[in-house]
Structure 1
């Protein structure tokens, strides 16, 4: 479920922050359960959550899936450098990457590389095919450097508030 973006900053009080902290760890709580945790009745909590959604503080509600159990357990970080740096080429790269289902995150970064991709595949063979058939077909990639995750130490979606 995607929420409409407003992004108009509104002042937050302590209860708003408590609601956000709770929801970013347990977004499937009912309004009644959330209300009990912040010591308010359900109607004000419902209204606060709607206000936080409308203002863009809450961007989405998702279920975090187990990639291993879904046969997508090989995580690869790929640093990409473009051959040329024009707005048109950058925009085309972004459009191409958005169509790659294996790329679950993409960031435009500063430094030695232009983009940082997080890729999930089943195994090394699937990654090789992905690089040769899909990523490699994107025009204007100068280089792609892959790093393979051997073990996950910490993975949190929570914003430190």
Structure 2
């Protein structure tokens, strides 16, 4: 189980680090233009817009890119506590992505990557939690010792 958990963690960490880097990198011009057009639409249905805050699409894309890159990198090489925190950040990002796609009334085929990523992140988080509680719940074996009273007599 530990090997499959590590493989899932590496797969997700690499995926999110690369997608975050793609959002930040101006190298691939056609992909960058498509992402900018998507983030213009995403900014229109930003959840905090109800309170009067609507982000600039470029800064919104940059913020999401940095969060994905940082959380993906921590998922890859971070200590267990930071891996758990990065998993929580990525889960909230995927829930936000699904929220955005619902409000934009996109087709179901557009939801599938976000739903699969969310499901895999939840699976990873639950498995990590179970692995930690299994380590804590195992009782340590004690050596059988005879009471001092019996030793003396």
Compare the two structures and name the one with the higher helix fraction. Answer: 2
**What is the TM-score when the length of structure 1 is the normalising length?**
0.22
**What is the TM-score when the length of structure 2 is the normalising length?**
0.23
Asked which structure has the greater CA Rg, the reply is 2
